[in-house]
Amino acid sequence: MIDSPPDTPVRDGPGAASARFGSGRSVQRVEDDALLTGRGRFADDVAAPGEAVVVFLRSPHAHAAIASIDTRAAAALPGVVAIVTGADLERDGVKPLPRSADFKRADGKPSASPPQRALATDVVRHVGEPVAAIVATSLDAARDAAEAIDVRYEPRSAVAAVDDAIAPGAAQVWPGAAGNVACVARHGDAKAVAAAFARAKHVVGLDLVNQRVIPAPVEPRTTLADALRDKLRLTGTHLGCEHGVCGACTVRLDGVSVRGCCILAVQVDGSVVETVESLAGDDLLSPLQAAFKRHHALQCGFCTPGILIAADDLLSRGSPSHEEIVDMLSGQLCRCTGYAPIVAAIEEARDELPQARGDGS
């Protein structure tokens, strides 16, 4: 469904499609109701009969040679369907991932970087690089097999910061990239830029460091979030970091919002657990969910259930100020929407909830 401004003519003929569907046109999203009520379907929410799961065994080293990989003990474990290594893929003719040809080195030659293989073969070059894939009939079986694989590494010197990598004598990441410089990209007029900075009254220098985040969950016992998702199929509760930071697994336990990934399922015996599925009734959005929809306070919807539970918990305890709402959101990570529309939606729900409840509270 396309919303057109009241006085916008709809043209026919050449160019009509771009006029009606071009950039900047208002398009009503059709997925919001499902995402707001916990009925969104993400890949991990689907459980097909007879499906298998895959777990990747990853390198604990930033730079190391792979001396050997022994998968025999792991392959013999119950539930294991197959174990694949980089050598297996290479033997079957699986090529490395294609590299971008857009960037050049300073001498005009193509960019120099190591082949990016789905699974490392001889050398690992960052922590978390996958070295084996385990296919099994269950997640637990795949994880058990991953722990049984014997990988022998020969650690090498590593560099993690850009300045350290290009310093004289730094450990070489890839032989084909001298000085650890894969490519050089320059745009614009360097002299004009230098002149502009020279004329500026104030010049601010800022170094930004982007971290590499690779979650590595370890599950010795079933958490509340896993029980909700795997046993009860309440898949509106999502798992992100799995150590209580991101807030995607937030649920309400006996009236208090908690992290579902940090509580064992056995600990909630006899308690009341509320998930995002409980916020709406009879397929109708709650006032808070409706405000999220009006303010476009969600995009992918992955973090939304946890934010809704935390916000609903905050609203249930009174009329929070702008600062209290922002403080609550500091414990909920959202990577794509941005927090301004989320704050606006919660504030609107705060102002409307007494009337919506009809109880004057």
305 — phi, psi (to 5°)? -55, -45
Assess whether 228 and 322 both reside in one domain: yes
pLDDT at 160: 79
Q: Which among 43, 39, 42, 3 is positioned nearest to 21, based on CA atoms? A: 3
**Kind plus residue range of the DSSP H or E element containing 347:** helix 339-357
Assess whether 243 and 120 both reside in one domain: no
Assess whether 41 and 68 both reside in one domain: no
| DSSP 8-class letter at 144 | H
| DSSP 8-class letter at 150 | E
pLDDT tens-digit map of 317-334: 889 999 999 999 999 998
Please check the confidence at residue 61 and state whether its pLDDT lies above 70. yes
Assess whether 34 and 67 both reside in one domain: no
Cα–Cα distance for residue pair 294/302, rounded to 1 Å: 18
- Number of folded domains in the chain? 2
pLDDT band, very low/low/confident/very high, at 25 (cuts 50, 70, 90): low
Assess whether 38 and 86 both reside in one domain: no
- Pick from 5-14, 22-31, 225-234, 342-351: least confident: 5-14
pTM of the model: 0.54
Cα–Cα distance for residue pair 315/311, rounded to 1 Å: 6
pLDDT tens-digit map of 133-187: 999 999 899 999 999 999 999 999 988 788 889 999 898 888 888 888 888 888 8
In a domain, residue 165? The reply is no
* Partner residues linked to 66 by β-bridges: 153
Assess whether 42 and 64 both reside in one domain: no
In a domain, residue 192? The reply is no
pLDDT tens-digit map of 183-215: 888 888 999 999 999 999 999 988 876 654 434
pLDDT at 11: 41
- CATH number for the domain harbouring residue 66: 3.90.1170.50
Q: How large is the average pLDDT for residues 224-245?
A: 87
- In three-state secondary structure terms, 145 is helix
Assess whether 256 and 328 both reside in one domain: yes
pLDDT band, very low/low/confident/very high, at 9 (cuts 50, 70, 90): very low
Please check the confidence at residue 89 and state whether its pLDDT lies above 90. yes
45 vs 60 pLDDT, higher one: 60
What is the signed CA dihedral for 288, 293, 299, 305, rounded to 10 degrees?
Answer: 30
Task: Report helix angle 339-357 to 304-316, nearest 10.
Answer: 40
58 vs 101 pLDDT, higher one: 58
Neighbours of 120 (CB within 10 A): 24
Q: How large is the average pLDDT for residues 311-322?
A: 92
In a domain, residue 74? The reply is yes
Structural domain that includes position 310: 1-46+222-361
Assess whether 358 and 236 both reside in one domain: yes
